[in-house]
Chain A
Protein backbone atom coordinates (compact mmCIF):
# COMPACT_ATOMS: atom_id res chain seq x y z
CA UNK A 1 0.00 0.00 0.00
CA UNK A 2 2.59 2.59 -0.95
CA UNK A 3 -0.38 4.18 -2.73
CA UNK A 4 -1.09 5.89 0.62
CA UNK A 5 2.34 7.59 0.61
CA UNK A 6 1.92 8.60 -3.01
CA UNK A 7 -1.49 10.11 -2.35
CA UNK A 8 -0.08 12.01 0.64
CA UNK A 9 2.63 13.46 -1.64
CA UNK A 10 -0.08 14.30 -4.16
CA UNK A 11 -2.13 16.19 -1.55
CA UNK A 12 0.92 18.19 -0.46
CA UNK A 13 1.60 19.14 -4.07
CA UNK A 14 -2.03 20.13 -4.72
CA UNK A 15 -2.11 22.37 -1.64
CA UNK A 16 1.21 23.93 -2.58
CA UNK A 17 -0.06 24.69 -6.09
CA UNK A 18 -3.34 26.07 -4.77
CA UNK A 19 -1.40 28.44 -2.51
CA UNK A 20 0.91 29.39 -5.36
CA UNK A 21 -2.00 30.21 -7.69
CA UNK A 22 -3.91 32.02 -4.95
CA UNK A 23 -6.90 29.78 -5.72
CA UNK A 24 -9.94 29.16 -3.52
CA UNK A 25 -10.17 25.48 -4.07
CA UNK A 26 -9.18 22.57 -6.25
CA UNK A 27 -11.94 21.53 -8.64
CA UNK A 28 -10.34 18.57 -10.38
CA UNK A 29 -6.97 17.18 -11.36
CA UNK A 30 -5.54 14.48 -13.59
CA UNK A 31 -2.97 11.90 -12.53
CA UNK A 32 -1.20 9.68 -15.05
CA UNK A 33 -0.57 6.14 -13.85
CA UNK A 34 1.54 3.93 -16.07
CA UNK A 35 0.70 0.27 -16.46
CA UNK A 36 4.20 -0.64 -15.23
CA UNK A 37 4.40 1.97 -12.45
CA UNK A 38 3.68 -0.61 -9.75
CA UNK A 39 0.68 1.41 -8.62
CA UNK A 40 -2.73 -0.18 -8.38
CA UNK A 41 -5.26 2.41 -9.66
CA UNK A 42 -8.01 1.08 -7.39
CA UNK A 43 -5.84 1.23 -4.28
CA UNK A 44 -4.72 4.70 -5.36
CA UNK A 45 -8.31 5.89 -5.71
CA UNK A 46 -9.29 4.35 -2.40
CA UNK A 47 -6.32 6.00 -0.65
CA UNK A 48 -7.37 9.32 -2.15
CA UNK A 49 -10.95 8.92 -0.92
CA UNK A 50 -9.63 8.34 2.60
CA UNK A 51 -7.19 11.22 2.46
CA UNK A 52 -9.48 13.87 0.99
CA UNK A 53 -11.66 13.60 4.12
CA UNK A 54 -8.69 14.97 6.04
CA UNK A 55 -8.26 18.08 3.89
CA UNK A 56 -11.03 20.65 3.72
CA UNK A 57 -9.42 22.10 0.58
CA UNK A 58 -9.73 18.80 -1.27
CA UNK A 59 -13.21 17.76 -0.15
CA UNK A 60 -14.74 18.57 -3.52
CA UNK A 61 -11.71 17.92 -5.71
CA UNK A 62 -12.38 15.31 -8.34
CA UNK A 63 -9.51 13.00 -9.30
CA UNK A 64 -9.27 11.81 -12.89
CA UNK A 65 -6.94 8.87 -13.46
CA UNK A 66 -5.38 8.48 -16.87
CA UNK A 67 -4.02 4.97 -17.23
CA UNK A 68 -1.06 4.88 -19.61
CA UNK A 69 -0.42 1.59 -21.43
CA UNK A 70 3.08 0.15 -21.64
CA UNK A 71 4.65 0.64 -25.07
CA UNK A 72 8.04 -0.52 -26.27
CA UNK A 73 10.19 -0.03 -29.36
CA UNK A 74 12.22 -2.96 -30.61
CA UNK A 75 15.93 -2.14 -30.73
CA UNK A 76 16.48 -4.60 -33.55
CA UNK A 77 13.70 -3.94 -36.07
CA UNK A 78 12.17 -0.70 -34.76
CA UNK A 79 8.66 -2.07 -34.39
CA UNK A 80 6.52 -0.54 -31.61
CA UNK A 81 4.45 -2.86 -29.45
CA UNK A 82 2.56 -3.25 -26.17
CA UNK A 83 3.68 -5.69 -23.52
CA UNK A 84 5.64 -5.93 -20.30
CA UNK A 85 9.29 -6.16 -19.26
CA UNK A 86 9.44 -9.78 -20.38
CA UNK A 87 7.88 -9.35 -23.81
CA UNK A 88 9.80 -10.19 -26.94
CA UNK A 89 9.27 -8.18 -30.12
CA UNK A 90 6.23 -9.70 -31.88
CA UNK A 91 7.94 -9.03 -35.22
CA UNK A 92 11.49 -10.38 -34.84
CA UNK A 93 11.43 -12.01 -31.33
CA UNK A 94 14.28 -9.80 -30.11
CA UNK A 95 14.40 -9.18 -26.32
CA UNK A 96 16.20 -5.82 -26.82
CA UNK A 97 13.70 -3.04 -26.39
CA UNK A 98 13.29 0.53 -25.20
CA UNK A 99 10.42 1.57 -22.97
CA UNK A 100 8.40 4.37 -24.55
CA UNK A 101 5.67 4.74 -21.92
CA UNK A 102 4.13 2.93 -18.99
CA UNK A 103 6.13 3.98 -15.93
CA UNK A 104 4.31 7.32 -15.41
CA UNK A 105 3.30 8.49 -11.97
CA UNK A 106 2.59 12.12 -12.68
CA UNK A 107 0.29 14.92 -11.68
CA UNK A 108 -0.48 16.26 -15.15
CA UNK A 109 -3.02 19.01 -14.72
CA UNK A 110 -5.00 20.82 -12.04
CA UNK A 111 -8.13 22.94 -12.32
CA UNK A 112 -8.71 25.53 -9.61
CA UNK A 113 -11.44 27.96 -8.76
CA UNK A 114 -10.08 31.48 -8.42
CA UNK A 115 -11.68 34.87 -7.74
CA UNK A 116 -12.08 37.11 -10.76
CA UNK A 117 -9.57 39.94 -10.89
Chain B
Protein backbone atom coordinates (compact mmCIF):
# COMPACT_ATOMS: atom_id res chain seq x y z
CA UNK B 1 0.00 0.00 0.00
CA UNK B 2 1.19 3.49 -0.79
CA UNK B 3 2.56 4.96 2.42
CA UNK B 4 1.54 8.54 1.83
CA UNK B 5 -2.11 8.19 0.90
CA UNK B 6 -3.09 4.52 1.14
CA UNK B 7 -4.20 4.43 -2.49
CA UNK B 8 -3.08 0.87 -3.13
CA UNK B 9 0.03 1.85 -5.06
CA UNK B 10 3.46 0.69 -4.03
CA UNK B 11 6.94 1.19 -5.29
CA UNK B 12 9.14 -1.51 -6.68
CA UNK B 13 12.89 -1.17 -6.86
CA UNK B 14 14.72 -3.21 -9.48
CA UNK B 15 18.47 -3.63 -9.82
CA UNK B 16 19.34 -3.62 -13.50
CA UNK B 17 23.10 -3.08 -13.97
CA UNK B 18 22.76 -3.04 -17.72
CA UNK B 19 25.08 -1.06 -19.95
CA UNK B 20 23.41 1.68 -21.96
CA UNK B 21 25.19 0.37 -25.01
CA UNK B 22 24.20 -3.27 -24.54
CA UNK B 23 21.61 -3.24 -27.34
CA UNK B 24 24.19 -1.80 -29.73
CA UNK B 25 26.69 -4.41 -28.54
CA UNK B 26 24.20 -7.20 -29.22
CA UNK B 27 23.64 -5.93 -32.78
CA UNK B 28 27.40 -5.53 -33.26
CA UNK B 29 27.88 -9.20 -32.31
CA UNK B 30 25.29 -10.15 -34.95
CA UNK B 31 27.09 -8.04 -37.54
CA UNK B 32 30.41 -9.63 -36.60
CA UNK B 33 28.99 -13.14 -37.06
CA UNK B 34 27.47 -12.12 -40.39
CA UNK B 35 30.75 -10.64 -41.67
CA UNK B 36 32.64 -13.72 -40.56
CA UNK B 37 30.21 -16.08 -42.28
CA UNK B 38 30.71 -14.21 -45.56
CA UNK B 39 34.48 -13.89 -45.08
CA UNK B 40 34.49 -10.08 -44.98
CA UNK B 41 37.29 -8.23 -43.21
CA UNK B 42 35.82 -5.05 -41.79
CA UNK B 43 37.72 -1.89 -40.95
CA UNK B 44 36.04 0.96 -39.08
CA UNK B 45 37.77 4.26 -39.87
CA UNK B 46 37.32 6.89 -37.18
CA UNK B 47 38.72 10.42 -37.31
CA UNK B 48 37.98 14.14 -37.26
CA UNK B 49 36.39 15.87 -40.25
CA UNK B 50 39.16 16.46 -42.75
CA UNK B 51 41.58 13.93 -41.23
CA UNK B 52 41.78 12.24 -44.62
CA UNK B 53 39.58 9.16 -44.20
CA UNK B 54 38.12 9.30 -47.71
CA UNK B 55 41.55 10.00 -49.27
CA UNK B 56 43.01 7.08 -47.33
CA UNK B 57 40.33 4.76 -48.74
CA UNK B 58 40.99 6.07 -52.26
CA UNK B 59 44.75 5.56 -51.99
CA UNK B 60 44.28 2.12 -50.42
CA UNK B 61 41.87 0.91 -53.09
CA UNK B 62 44.30 1.98 -55.82
CA UNK B 63 46.97 -0.16 -54.15
CA UNK B 64 44.70 -3.20 -53.94
CA UNK B 65 43.99 -3.97 -57.60
CA UNK B 66 41.88 -7.08 -58.03
CA UNK B 67 40.74 -7.14 -54.41
CA UNK B 68 37.00 -6.86 -53.84
CA UNK B 69 36.67 -3.75 -51.69
CA UNK B 70 33.44 -2.04 -50.65
CA UNK B 71 32.65 0.95 -48.46
CA UNK B 72 29.90 1.91 -46.08
CA UNK B 73 30.03 5.68 -45.99
CA UNK B 74 28.60 7.55 -43.03
CA UNK B 75 27.82 11.22 -43.41
CA UNK B 76 25.55 13.40 -41.29
CA UNK B 77 23.81 15.17 -44.18
CA UNK B 78 25.20 14.75 -47.69
CA UNK B 79 26.18 11.89 -49.98
CA UNK B 80 29.18 13.76 -51.33
CA UNK B 81 31.88 11.38 -50.03
CA UNK B 82 29.86 8.38 -51.20
CA UNK B 83 29.71 9.85 -54.71
CA UNK B 84 33.43 10.55 -54.60
CA UNK B 85 34.17 6.92 -53.69
CA UNK B 86 31.77 5.51 -56.27
CA UNK B 87 34.08 6.95 -58.92
CA UNK B 88 36.64 4.30 -57.88
CA UNK B 89 34.29 1.71 -59.36
CA UNK B 90 33.65 -0.03 -56.06
CA UNK B 91 30.31 -0.67 -54.33
CA UNK B 92 29.46 2.08 -51.85
CA UNK B 93 26.51 2.06 -49.46
CA UNK B 94 25.76 5.53 -48.16
CA UNK B 95 24.35 6.07 -44.69
CA UNK B 96 23.02 9.56 -44.08
CA UNK B 97 22.67 9.70 -40.32
CA UNK B 98 20.40 12.75 -40.30
CA UNK B 99 22.70 14.80 -38.13
CA UNK B 100 23.64 11.98 -35.75
CA UNK B 101 27.32 12.22 -34.88
CA UNK B 102 28.30 8.53 -35.23
CA UNK B 103 27.34 5.28 -36.90
CA UNK B 104 25.83 2.51 -34.82
CA UNK B 105 25.55 -1.24 -35.36
CA UNK B 106 21.97 -1.01 -36.64
CA UNK B 107 22.85 1.54 -39.36
CA UNK B 108 25.74 -0.65 -40.49
CA UNK B 109 23.52 -3.73 -40.54
CA UNK B 110 20.98 -1.98 -42.79
CA UNK B 111 23.67 -0.61 -45.09
CA UNK B 112 25.40 -3.98 -45.44
CA UNK B 113 22.20 -5.49 -46.86
CA UNK B 114 22.99 -3.50 -50.02
CA UNK B 115 26.42 -5.14 -50.25
CA UNK B 116 25.86 -8.66 -48.97
CA UNK B 117 24.73 -10.18 -52.30
CA UNK B 118 28.31 -9.83 -53.56
CA UNK B 119 30.25 -9.79 -50.33
CA UNK B 120 33.55 -7.88 -50.49
CA UNK B 121 36.82 -9.23 -49.11
CA UNK B 122 37.53 -5.92 -47.43
CA UNK B 123 34.84 -3.57 -46.19
CA UNK B 124 35.76 -0.08 -45.06
CA UNK B 125 33.28 1.68 -42.84
CA UNK B 126 33.97 5.39 -42.99
CA UNK B 127 32.50 6.68 -39.76
CA UNK B 128 31.07 10.16 -39.33
CA UNK B 129 33.88 12.71 -39.02
CA UNK B 130 34.19 12.96 -35.25
CA UNK B 131 36.80 11.67 -32.87
CA UNK B 132 34.61 11.56 -29.80
CA UNK B 133 31.24 9.93 -30.37
CA UNK B 134 32.05 6.96 -32.65
CA UNK B 135 34.42 5.60 -30.00
CA UNK B 136 31.58 4.17 -27.93
CA UNK B 137 29.79 2.32 -30.71
CA UNK B 138 30.99 -1.13 -31.74
CA UNK B 139 29.86 -1.80 -35.31
CA UNK B 140 31.00 -5.42 -35.50
CA UNK B 141 34.29 -4.53 -37.21
CA UNK B 142 37.50 -6.56 -37.10
CA UNK B 143 39.73 -3.52 -36.87
CA UNK B 144 39.08 -0.06 -35.51
CA UNK B 145 41.50 2.37 -37.10
CA UNK B 146 41.92 5.96 -35.97
CA UNK B 147 42.86 8.34 -38.77
CA UNK B 148 44.76 11.37 -37.47
CA UNK B 149 46.33 14.00 -39.71
CA UNK B 150 49.53 15.76 -38.77
CA UNK B 151 47.78 19.10 -39.34
CA UNK B 152 45.42 18.47 -36.43
CA UNK B 153 47.99 18.96 -33.72
CA UNK B 154 49.74 16.47 -31.50
CA UNK B 155 47.43 16.78 -28.49
CA UNK B 156 44.62 14.71 -30.03
CA UNK B 157 45.43 11.47 -28.17
CA UNK B 158 45.29 13.39 -24.88
CA UNK B 159 42.01 15.06 -25.77
CA UNK B 160 40.26 11.99 -27.15
CA UNK B 161 41.78 8.96 -25.40
CA UNK B 162 38.63 6.84 -25.81
CA UNK B 163 39.00 6.72 -29.58
CA UNK B 164 42.65 5.64 -29.34
CA UNK B 165 42.00 3.14 -26.59
CA UNK B 166 39.90 0.87 -28.81
CA UNK B 167 42.03 1.21 -31.94
CA UNK B 168 43.99 -1.67 -33.47
CA UNK B 169 45.92 0.86 -35.50
CA UNK B 170 46.43 4.58 -35.91
CA UNK B 171 47.09 5.98 -39.38
CA UNK B 172 48.92 9.32 -39.26
CA UNK B 173 48.00 11.00 -42.52
CA UNK B 174 49.38 13.92 -44.54
CA UNK B 175 53.01 13.31 -43.49
CA UNK B 176 54.06 15.14 -46.67
CA UNK B 177 53.06 18.28 -44.71
CA UNK B 178 55.32 17.51 -41.72
CA UNK B 179 57.95 20.13 -42.68
CA UNK B 180 55.25 22.82 -42.44
CA UNK B 181 53.58 21.94 -39.13
CA UNK B 182 54.55 21.54 -35.49
CA UNK B 183 53.90 17.88 -35.10
CA UNK B 184 56.33 15.69 -33.20
CA UNK B 185 55.77 12.16 -34.51
CA UNK B 186 57.77 10.56 -31.69
CA UNK B 187 55.81 12.39 -29.03
CA UNK B 188 52.46 11.39 -30.54
CA UNK B 189 53.66 7.79 -30.81
CA UNK B 190 54.54 7.87 -27.12
CA UNK B 191 51.16 9.33 -26.13
CA UNK B 192 49.34 6.67 -28.13
CA UNK B 193 51.49 3.94 -26.58
CA UNK B 194 50.53 5.18 -23.12
CA UNK B 195 46.83 4.73 -23.84
CA UNK B 196 47.10 1.68 -26.03
CA UNK B 197 50.45 -0.11 -26.22
CA UNK B 198 49.06 -2.61 -28.75
CA UNK B 199 48.04 -0.08 -31.42
CA UNK B 200 50.09 -0.24 -34.62
CA UNK B 201 51.21 3.07 -36.10
CA UNK B 202 51.21 3.91 -39.81
CA UNK B 203 52.55 7.34 -40.76
CA UNK B 204 51.74 7.89 -44.42
CA UNK B 205 50.71 10.30 -47.13
CA UNK B 206 47.77 9.36 -49.34
CA UNK B 207 48.88 12.08 -51.76
CA UNK B 208 52.53 11.05 -52.28
CA UNK B 209 51.89 7.38 -51.32
CA UNK B 210 54.86 7.50 -48.95
CA UNK B 211 54.42 4.94 -46.17
CA UNK B 212 51.46 3.28 -47.83
CA UNK B 213 53.10 -0.13 -48.22
CA UNK B 214 53.18 -1.25 -44.54
CA UNK B 215 49.54 -0.18 -44.21
CA UNK B 216 48.53 -2.29 -47.20
CA UNK B 217 50.45 -5.26 -45.81
CA UNK B 218 48.72 -4.79 -42.46
CA UNK B 219 45.32 -4.90 -44.18
CA UNK B 220 46.20 -8.02 -46.12
CA UNK B 221 47.59 -9.88 -43.08
A53, B22: Cα distance in complex, Å: 24
Q: Which residues of B contact A10 (CB under 8 A)?
A: 20
Contact A109 to B13, CB < 8 A, known contacts A2-B133, A95-B194: yes
Q: Are B11 and A114 in contact (CB under 8 A)?
A: yes
Q: Could you tell me the dominant secondary structure of chain A's interface residues?
A: mixed
Quick one: CB contact mask for B112-153 with A, threshold 8 Å, 1 for yes?
000000000000000000001111110000000000000000
- For B196, the closest partner residue in chain A by CB is A85
Contact A36 to B21, CB < 8 A, known contacts A109-B13, A116-B8: no
20 A/B residue pairs, CB under 8 Å, sorted by A: A2-B136, A2-B137, A5-B102, A6-B20, A9-B24, A13-B20, A17-B14, A23-B12, A27-B11, A36-B161, A38-B136, A85-B165, A86-B158, A107-B16, A107-B17, A107-B19, A110-B13, A112-B12, A116-B2, A116-B10
Q: Are B194 and A106 in contact (CB under 8 A)?
A: no
Q: Are A5 and B100 in contact (CB under 8 A)?
A: yes
Known: A1-B101, A110-B13. 9 other contacts (CB 8 A): A2-B137, A21-B14, A31-B20, A84-B161, A85-B165, A86-B195, A108-B15, A113-B9, A116-B9
Question: Which A residues fall within an 8 A CB radius of B?
Answer: 1-2, 4-6, 9-10, 12-13, 17, 21, 23-24, 27, 31, 36-38, 84-86, 95, 105-116
A109 CB, min distance to chain B CBs, angstroms:
5
Q: Which residues of A contact B133 (CB under 8 A)?
A: 1-2, 5
Q: Are B19 and A106 in contact (CB under 8 A)?
A: yes
Q: Which residues of B contact A13 (CB under 8 A)?
A: 16, 18, 20, 23
Q: Which residues of B contact A17 (CB under 8 A)?
A: 14, 16
Q: Are B23 and A12 in contact (CB under 8 A)?
A: yes
A79, B71: Cα distance in complex, Å: 46
Q: Are B191 and A86 in contact (CB under 8 A)?
A: yes
Quick one: CB contact mask for B158-194 with A, threshold 8 Å, 1 for yes?
1001100100000000000000000000000001001
Q: Which residues of A contact B165 (CB under 8 A)?
A: 85
A115, B11: Cα distance in complex, Å: 8
A24, B10: Cα distance in complex, Å: 10
Contact A111 to B13, CB < 8 A, known contacts A9-B21, A86-B194: yes
- For A13, the closest partner residue in chain B by CB is B18
A50, B105: Cα distance in complex, Å: 24
B206 CB, min distance to chain A CBs, angstroms:
28
B104 within 8 A of partner (CB): yes
Q: Are A38 and B132 in contact (CB under 8 A)?
A: yes
Q: Are A108 and B17 in contact (CB under 8 A)?
A: yes
Q: Are A106 and B20 in contact (CB under 8 A)?
A: yes
Q: Which residues of A contact B17 (CB under 8 A)?
A: 106-108
Closest CB pairs A-B (n = 3): A2-B133, A38-B162, A116-B8
A9, B105: Cα distance in complex, Å: 13
Q: Which residues of B contact A113 (CB under 8 A)?
A: 9-12
- For A84, the closest partner residue in chain B by CB is B161
